[in-house]
Amino acid sequence: MSDLLVLLIPVLPLIAALVNGLLGHRYAPALAARLAVGAVGLSFLCAIAILTGVLSDPTPREVIAYAWIVGGALHVNLGFLIDPLTTVMLMVVTGVGLLIHVYSIGYMQGEDGMTRFFVYMNLFMVSMLLLVMGNNFLVLFIGWEGVGLCSYLLIGYYFDKVSAAKAATKAFVVNRIGDAGFLIAIFLMFVNFHTLDYLEIFARASELSTSMATAIALCLLVGAVGKSAQIPLYTWLPDAMEGPTPVSALIHAATMVTAGVYMVVRSHTVYDMAPVALATLGMIGGLTALYAATIGLVQNDIKRVLAYSTVSQLGYMFLACGVGAYIAAVFHLITHAFFKALLFLSAGAVIHSLAGEQDIRRMGGLSRKIPLTHAVFLIGVLAIAGIPPLAGFWSKDEIMVHAFAHHHYGLFLMAALGVLLTSFYMFRLTYLTFYGPSRVAPDVEHHIHESPPVMTVPLVILAGLSVFGGLLGAPPAHVFPGFLASVAMPAGAVSPVEDVGAAGIVLLVVSVGIALVGWGLAHYLYAVRPGMADDWSERYAGAYRLLLNKYHVDELYDAMVVEPTKRLGQLWDWIDRRIIDRVVMGIGRGTNAGGAGATWTEKHVIYGGLNVVGYASHCVAWSWRKLQTGLVNHYAAVIVIGLVLLVHVLLVWVTSTSVL
């Protein structure tokens, strides 16, 4: 019975996607939306049922759908693994997914192709569920590339916009670079274990040498870096904001981009054996957290600020993995899913109420006009900034405590500085959007309106989760770490919160203090002394523009990778047309003849061949005219006799020379 429940979770959205995709043009988009949302809702219910089961018995359980690829030593099932980690991911994906689906009904109202939107969203759910539920790396990989495809389709949802089309291609291709790394990791694992099943690989992980474990972990990391938009493959994520806002919330904040973190935590047994890979992971995470935050300081597009903040927060999760705090990483993944989905969706509500405006320079003073949206957005901001007792505070604090306790002071400093920057740019965003004088275009001004309940109800629920979600992992109960301990605890680790003792309280105070400083600074610059920020941006124009232009990394990649590849393609194309085309015939003749025989070969073989063809074509033309007299047989006979003669000649030739 519960096996069926497990299978139903991905199958329900799949059915909805198929029905809507194949028959959706026959009925109203509203019905398609209801079907799509209903399917995700049912999946959510199934997931709750699974959760209750796992809570009472956390032993990992495999459910095999069918044997997928079988041949030789390779045996890969389409199978699922239900354990606490999967269950946690299931709750996030189906729960947050459901809320965003509901919200989309309102947000996408009246859009062309709403049915298409829900088909893609459901397909995304299917892929994401395969990704988190698979019992082996290949099923993870189906989901991995599947979410990439859906992300491509949804970024390119407004496909007639050039920028959207470009962003879609970029997202897919950059992700493919990561996927290539992931594939290599899969091959390495198969070569070592002759299986791809999680349980067997992790049980036998100790068979790996340190260098092999490091190689596997680093290749997996390449995949994770691509999917989770870390340095150096992060550039696709900000551009991905071309998609509709619910897509940004679901795919590019709450679920898909966290797949890299999930994958690292899932395979932490391998990482635990590879200190070099862990250090790299932590360093990438720390750098990305800081780096993306600096870009976020000056961006003017409300969604782009949130996008860089997502990159930065994902950096925190990587950092956590890097110091071995896998549970803290998953904890932050969950709270981030709550507050970042909330932020994106309320930003969507702002954009919705302003008829599509996304530039914060043309917002301001919205707190009075859309108070509910303002309230929930503010909750999201407090949560991400790390103000207690909201969700983000607990998870971020957990990460910092681990970094400190494991003596990764460099990473700790990066994380702390990141908190300052995060708090600053999030409050900057808030002040520019909701407070101060209105800079809204006059024609938009008069119809600013609060969103319909179908959008605000999910917002309120997410706001509630952003406030209370952190209590799951808050001391002293540590409900959440206890639940995950069996699957995500690094070998031999003890919870470091007790370790650091009093220092923990100090760290807690420090991190809150830093966040408050960031808030204060933003308040001063954008509320107390408006105009001062502009002065600064002029005084430090060089630095400001460097940040505004995102360190010119896109241009750098274009110049270093994209353009050279195209030029190489042009060069090779030229060689193909001008050189290979002409040389091949020459080489062919040369090798065939070999010096003195050249003329002979040319005369007898090449021209002979030509003659055969010429004669054959003559025959065909002729036989078409006279087919009824049975000359097709004659023609065939001629060809056959010709060939037999040719064979004979060659036999004689070969035996008379000393080739053998």
Partner 1 sequence: MLEELPSGFPLLSVILFLPLLGAVALWPQRDADLMKQSALGVAGLELALSAILLYRFIPESAAMQFSERLNWIPALGISYHLAVDGISVLFVPLSAFITVLVLLYSWDAVRDNIKPYLMSLLALETTIMGIFVSIDLILFFVFWELMLVPSYFLIKLWGVGESREDAALKYVLYTLLGSVFMLVGFALLSLNYHHVRDAYSFDFLELLTVPVPVGDQLIIFWLIFMGLAFKAPMFPFHSWLPDALVQGPIGMSVVLAGIKLGTYGFLRFSFPLLPEASTNATVVMLVMGLALAAIVWGAIVAIIQSDFRRLLVFSSISHLGFVVLGLFSLNFQGVQGGLLQMINLGFTTAGLFFFAGFLYDRLGHTQVERCGGLASKMPWLATVLLIIGMASIGLPGTNGFIGEFLVLLGAFQAHWVYGVIAVSGVIFAAAYFLWYYERAIFGPLGAMVPRVLPDLTPRESGIAVALCVMIFWIGLYPSPFLRTMNGSVQEVVDRLSRGSVANHGQARLARSVPPGPAEKDD
Identity of the residue, 190 or 544, whose beta carbon is nearer to partner 1 in the bound complex: 190
Task: Give pairs for 471-477: CB < 8 Å, separation 24+.
Answer: 471/389, 471/394, 472/331, 472/334, 473/327, 473/331, 473/394, 473/395, 473/398, 474/389, 474/394
Output the smallest distance, CB 569 to partner 1, in A. 4
Q: Pick the closer one to partner 1 by CB: 169 or 300.
A: 169
Instruction: Report the distance separating Cα 292 and Cα 272, nearest Å.
Output: 27
CB of 73 to partner 1, least distance (A): 7
Site string for partner 1, 348-377 (x = CB under 8 A): ------------------------------
Residue 269: CB partners within 8 Å, gap ≥ 6?
201, 202, 205, 491
Interface stretch with partner 1, choices 140-148, 255-263, 294-302, 460-468 (CB under 8 A): 140-148
Q: Number of residues in contact with partner 1, rule: CB under 8 A? A: 80
Stretch that binds partner 1, among 161-169, 255-263, 402-410, 504-512 (CB under 8 A): 161-169
Helices 391-405, 453-468: inter-axial angle, 10-degree rounding: 40
Give the one residue of 117, 172, 308, 338 binding partner 1; rule: CB under 8 A. Answer: 172
Smallest separation, CB 617 to partner 1 (Å): 7
- Sole window of 152-160, 298-306, 406-414, 476-484 interacting with partner 1 (rule: CB under 8 A): 152-160
Q: To the nearest whole angstrom, how small is the minimum distance from the Cβ of residue 582 to partner 1? A: 8
Q: Does 544 bind partner 1 (CB under 8 A)?
A: no
Partner residues linked to 62 by β-bridges:
81
Q: Pick the binder of partner 1 from 27, 159, 536, 540 (CB under 8 A).
A: 159
List, in order, residues 6 or more apart from 142 with CB less than 8 Å away: 127, 130, 131, 134
Residue 606 touching partner 1 (CB under 8 A): yes
Structure tokens at 24: 């959706």
Which range, of 85-93, 260-268, 543-551, 643-651, touches partner 1 by CB under 8 A? 643-651
For residue 593, what are the CA distances in angstroms to 121, 145, 601, 611? 63, 51, 6, 19
Crossing angle (nearest 10°) for helices 371-385 and 453-468: 30
Among 48, 63, 460, 639, binds partner 1 (CB under 8 A): 639
Q: How many CB atoms lie within 10 A of CB 622?
A: 13
| Closest CB 106 distance from partner 1, rounded Å | 25
- Rounded Cα distance between 544 and 522, Å, is 16
- Asked if 417 contacts 512 with a C-beta cutoff of 8 angstroms, the reply is no
Q: What are phi and psi of 298, to 5 degrees?
A: -120, 0
Residues 556-585 that bind partner 1 (CB under 8 A): 565-566, 568-570, 572-573, 576, 580-581, 584-585
Q: State which residue, 152 or 316, has the beta carbon closest to partner 1.
A: 152
Binder to partner 1 among 34, 176, 369, 439 (CB under 8 A)?
Answer: 176
Among 19, 212, 508, 612, binds partner 1 (CB under 8 A): 612
**Residue 528 interacts with partner 1 (CB under 8 A)?**
no
18 or 387, CB closer to partner 1? 18
Q: Considering beta carbons, is residue 145 or 272 the nearer one to partner 1?
A: 145
SS (H, E, C) 296-317: HCCCCEHHHHHHHHHHHHHHHH
- Give the nearest distance from C-beta 146 to partner 1 in angstroms: 7
Residue placing its CB nearer to partner 1 in the complex, 51 or 177: 177
Q: How far apart are CB 21 and partner 1 at their closest, in Å?
A: 9
> Minimal CA–CA distance to 60: which of 266, 273, 224, 213?
266
Dump the DSSP string for 26-70: GS-HHHHHHHHHHHHHHHHHHHHHHHHHHHH--S-EEEEEEEEEE
Q: Which is nearer to partner 1, 527 or 580 (CB)?
A: 580
- Check binding of 603 to partner 1 (CB under 8 A): no
Q: Which of residues 11-50 bind partner 1 (CB under 8 A)?
A: none
Which of 76/507 has CB closer to partner 1? Answer: 76
Q: Is 124 in the site for partner 1 (CB under 8 A)?
A: no
Interface with partner 1, residue 660, by CB under 8 A = yes
Instruction: Using the rule CB under 8 A, give the single segment among 71-79, 289-297, 320-328, 393-401 that binds partner 1.
Output: 71-79
Measured in degrees and rounded to the nearest 5, phi and psi for residue 493 equal -85, 150
141 part of the interface to partner 1, by CB under 8 A: yes
The answer to whether 243 contacts partner 1 (rule: CB under 8 A) is no
Question: Alpha-carbon distance 470 to 331, whole Å?
Answer: 8
Element (H, E) at 424: helix 409-434
DSSP 113-132: THHHHHHHHHHHHHHHHHHH
What string of H, E and C letters represents the secondary structure of 378-390? Answer: HHHHHHHHCCCCC
Smallest gap from Cβ 550 to partner 1, in A, equals 22
- When the beta carbons of 190 and 468 are compared against partner 1, the nearer one is 190
Using CB under 8 A, which of 85, 168, 247, 390 touches partner 1?
A: 168
Task: Determine if 508 is a binding residue for partner 1 (CB under 8 A).
Answer: no
Residue 283 identity:
M
**Maximum separation of any 2 CA atoms in the chain, in Å:** 105
Given the rule CB under 8 A, which of 70-78, 91-99, 305-313, 388-396 is the region that contacts partner 1? 70-78
Candidates 552, 624, 629, 637; binder of partner 1 (CB under 8 A) is 624
> Does the footprint of partner 1 cover residue 286 (CB under 8 A)?
no
Check residue 543 for interaction with partner 1 (CB under 8 A): no
Place of tokens 């030509």: 610
* Pairwise CA distance, residues 302 & 133, whole Å: 34
Pick one of 70, 502, 528, 596: the residue that binds partner 1 (CB under 8 A).
Answer: 70
Smallest distance, partner 1 to C-beta of residue 570, A: 5
Does position 616 bind partner 1 by CB under 8 A? yes
Enter the DSSP assignment of 628.
Answer: G
Kindly state the tokens that stand for 172. 């897919």
Tokens read off for 436: 């101060």
Q: Does 92 bind partner 1 (CB under 8 A)?
A: no
